[in-house]
Structure 1
């Protein structure tokens, strides 16, 4: 026995924590080559990792372990992604260190790639304790942080003892879901889906439910009903034709499935296509007001507040961050209009209050989104008037700014405790198309260099120091903790725009929005600052 123990003790692998930090993303991140072993653990939101020509989905309670030298990118979905980022080193002692550590990183219990971090409540407590310990000046507390890091790794190792199997199954399910999205209007069987996934039918059905919470044909039916909802409100197609186009060969069966899923018949649902409809449209109020439609309630958030720029003073606010949907029911909406980011706020739970409709949202192409909203309410004739008014306002402002600004450069920054985000100058993001295309303002050279093909990027301190734009428009994200301490730093005070008094703070809710009214507010703010 002694001999065996001594033999095993010749090989010792230690995991030594280097740093822990919290980060938040709102959109596409920057590609980076990881210099150290890096573990991220998602605390809020949705996103995905791009690595080795593949995508790995991220959500609360999942993580990803990056090996040194791996080129990867972390991306957030529309409503953002928050996570802990831990860097550490693996220290090998004993004989044959190099060959042993290479073997262990490939075969051992802590493998790179997607990680399950369950139970997440326990994981979160450890992360908070590690985070606080690393910021303590007390030596014992510092050591305690390292000890808790070992506990965290043990928790993750145990949760991922079969990570290869789990990851493979998850990818197989995602392949079948993609197949459903492409072929929902055809006859699709579970046998076909299992074949696409490459696993047996019994295992496929079981795994599908574990991943999605539904059996395969329930998910397929959900896709069909969602497409039918869009056709009912956005087209004048006959009911029979809609049923066929979404994969139902029998109109009677379509009616039954639709009512079971939505709560009303297709004909009743289509009747929502009318004036006077009581609607709740979180994050889409801008488009409704542009069409002269007032929602029965407006969304608010405990940190962000309300969209004050819309001046909905007489419209009650519903806080979507506390998921108290009984409050919403008091205002008796007849339809709930959703954008692409509704899952982040669990807005699908509102289906017990009123039918839901997922509006086709085109983000930067606000004109297309406006038309989709207008089609729902039978107000498409109003769209050209709204667009015409905006373009006239932008043209008038551009003439003024051409005379006042000349060749001076500008940049737009979003600031929080997690960092500084620079917005791009192409037809991407909340500000690029308005500031640089519609108003013709010259972006600073660093904007074009760093954000090419992206709507925004996070700035390093070195990059911020090189941002010598003549004018800066800044806004603070209260959800991410403000970040106003930046304004007191020597780095910030050294920027030319700061020294010259050419920094303009703008309303977060108005500027971080794609709606036409938010764009008109941007034009007004720019004229006030530069005109």
Structure 2
């Protein structure tokens, strides 16, 4: 259902006694409600009760993008909804989202999204399915919410919680997650009849052939390619090459900004990820961790040790890292060992423990090696290492505020 603009912004700004950041949050709410009106920096700064220059700097520092960039995101994302969910003429959509000139709106839309409004509307009508949960984050980066996808409250909690009402058909999580066989999803897709299907080469050749009988398919290499290569392959298949390149460019920009912030806090301190499985420790890594922690953020670690190698507590003491990220497997034995480890005198003598630089991380998002997954990892790493995160992307991947 399309959102209608509120006729009045009831919050009184500025509020005496509140901090500039509190007033800034209220301004952001004001922008959310009045994106269809001409808004200037001077007006927004006045609403926040601060000078225009301070407003510009504080907004960028707080939210990771300028106020005008945020306003553009609001307008373009609302326009996407109108293009997908209504039959309004282009000039009417332009007016509804704050642009008096439909030609300027069209140029702006293509610059931000990568395709013209008319092409976006045409592509948005296509029904794309994925039978691989790892591809959901790739499709979202291309502004595609799949008509069918395997989502589950346990195994894909983030996508389940954010998209369960928008993904029309919930496919089954199959081996190795559950005992369900892949045939159940093939039968479901026969009835759904999507326009295209995206998956990985982990699907057997027999099942790939069966899926190809349903709709045109794209099966990307699961382990032989990185997320950028996968995204470009899917973008080419769905004729969304520009969206793929825009996402990669956005990630690279965010990574550069995050690296500067994290390096100020961490410097050359040694950072490791430890995984706890039953009564054992492992020096842990995976493609997402390699991409974000040691690639994008360029954190220093112990290069002489093999990733995913068993690790004794004595070896950990000898390494004595400055910061430790801990991933505890969810089954009971691992949780029990983690509790006992925290009471160990040896563990408590570690530098990272004494300096309160031990952080728990979970499989979500650190197992999600996709375009969306690495962006979420980047935001979470910012929060871990700096105590601050603009949280731009995490809440805006879907719905009204879908990231471009």
Q: Normalised by the size of structure 1, how large is the TM-score?
A: 0.41
The residue that corresponds to 2:299 in the other structure is: 441
| Distance (whole Å) between structure 2 residues aligned to residue 343 and residue 459 of structure 1 | 35
| Distance (whole Å) between structure 2 residues aligned to residue 466 and residue 354 of structure 1 | 57
Match of 1:412 among 267, 273, 291: 273
The residue that corresponds to 2:324 in the other structure is: 472
> Quick one: structure 1 residues 514 and 363, their matched pair in 2 at CA, closer, same or farther if it must change by over 3 Å?
farther
The residue that corresponds to 2:263 in the other structure is: 402
Question: What secondary structure does 2:288 align onto?
Answer: coil
> Quick one: structure 1 residues 281 and 420, their matched pair in 2 at CA, closer, same or farther if it must change by over 3 Å?
farther
Question: What secondary structure does 2:194 align onto?
Answer: coil
The residue that corresponds to 1:459 in the other structure is: 311
Say if 2:211 is the partner of 1:351.
Answer: yes
Structure 1 segment 133-212 matched on structure 2, within 5 A: none
The offset of 1:339, in angstroms, is 1.5
**What number of residue pairs does the alignment pair up?**
248
Match of 1:290 among 125, 132, 141: 141
Whether the 8 Å CA contact 1:410–1:469 is kept in 2: the answer is yes
| Distance (whole Å) between structure 1 residues aligned to residue 312 and residue 152 of structure 2 | 29
> Quick one: structure 1 residues 347 and 530, their matched pair in 2 at CA, closer, same or farther if it must change by over 3 Å?
farther
| Distance (whole Å) between structure 1 residues aligned to residue 315 and residue 210 of structure 2 | 43
> Quick one: structure 1 residues 461 and 335, their matched pair in 2 at CA, closer, same or farther if it must change by over 3 Å?
farther
Question: What secondary structure does 2:309 align onto?
Answer: strand
| Distance (whole Å) between structure 1 residues aligned to residue 261 and residue 281 of structure 2 | 30
Residues 217-275 of structure 1, C-alpha deviations (whole Å, 9 max, x = no match): xxxxxxxxxxxxxxxxxxxxxxxxxxxxxxxxxxxxxxxxxxxxxxxxxxxxxxxx966
Indicate the structure with greater strand content: 1
| Distance (whole Å) between structure 1 residues aligned to residue 226 and residue 379 of structure 2 | 20
> Quick one: structure 1 residues 357 and 368, their matched pair in 2 at CA, closer, same or farther if it must change by over 3 Å?
closer
Whether the 8 Å CA contact 1:362–1:368 is kept in 2: the answer is no
| Distance (whole Å) between structure 2 residues aligned to residue 274 and residue 500 of structure 1 | 52
CA RMSD of aligned residues (A): 3.4
Whether the 8 Å CA contact 1:510–1:521 is kept in 2: the answer is yes
| Distance (whole Å) between structure 2 residues aligned to residue 484 and residue 493 of structure 1 | 17
Match of 1:386 among 243, 247, 250: 247
Say if 2:381 is the partner of 1:529.
Answer: no
The offset of 1:364, in angstroms, is 5.8
Question: What secondary structure does 1:311 align onto?
Answer: helix
Say if 2:288 is the partner of 1:430.
Answer: yes
Match of 1:319 among 172, 175, 182: 172
Gaps of 5+ in 1: 1-272
Structure 1 segment 247-396 matched on structure 2, within 5 A: 276-282=126-132, 283-300=134-151, 304-308=155-159, 311-314=162-165, 315=167, 316-320=169-173, 321=178, 322-323=180-181, 324-325=184-185, 326=187, 331-343=192-204, 351=211, 354-355=214-215, 356-361=217-222, 365-396=226-257
Residues 466-489 of structure 1, C-alpha deviations (whole Å, 9 max, x = no match): 3422222223344x6671222222
| Distance (whole Å) between structure 2 residues aligned to residue 357 and residue 482 of structure 1 | 40
Higher RCO (CA-CA < 8 Å; seq separation 6+)? 2
Question: What secondary structure does 1:442 align onto?
Answer: coil
Whether the 8 Å CA contact 1:364–1:514 is kept in 2: the answer is no
Match of 2:353 among 498, 501, 509: 498
The offset of 1:390, in angstroms, is 0.5
| Distance (whole Å) between structure 2 residues aligned to residue 387 and residue 278 of structure 1 | 21
Gaps of 5+ in 2: 1-121, 387-404
Question: What secondary structure does 1:342 align onto?
Answer: coil
Structure of higher CA gyration radius: 1
Indicate the structure with greater helix content: 2
Whether the 8 Å CA contact 2:281–2:310 is kept in 1: the answer is yes
The offset of 1:294, in angstroms, is 1.0
| Distance (whole Å) between structure 1 residues aligned to residue 267 and residue 203 of structure 2 | 42
The offset of 1:450, in angstroms, is 1.1
Question: What secondary structure does 1:473 align onto?
Answer: strand
| Distance (whole Å) between structure 2 residues aligned to residue 513 and residue 352 of structure 1 | 26
